Amino acid sequence: TYADDFTIRLVQVIADFYDGDSSACALGLEALEFHPSAKEKNNDDKLSLLRARFQRRAGNIIQAHAAYEMVKYHPQFETEAEEYLNG
C-alpha cells in the first residue's frame, strides 16, 4: 500500500492527538500547514478537521470555531462541524 509523505505525517499527528500528546500534535499540525501538499483540497479538509478537534480539546473556542467553519459544508465532516457550531 502506498501513502504519500503528507499522509504519513498526518497519520503520525493523528496518533499524537489520540495519544493525548498535545505538544507533539501542535508541532505536527504546524509543520503540516507548511507541507507542499497541505493546500490540496482533500489534505486541507483533513487538516482543518484535525485542527478543529485539537483546538476544541485544548479549550480554544475561537480557533475551534474558525476551524469548524472551514469544514461545515464538507459531506463527511458537516455533522460534527454543525453540532459544534450550533451546540
Q: What is the tens place of the pLDDT at every residue in 8-48?
A: 999 999 999 999 999 999 999 999 999 999 999 999 999 99
Cβ neighbours, 10 Å, residue 86: 7
Model pTM greater than 0.85?
yes
Please give the grid coordinates belonging to residue 9: 505525517
Q: Which residue's entry shows cell 495519544?
A: 19
Give the pLDDT of residue 81. Answer: 97
H or E segment and range at residue 28? helix 22-33
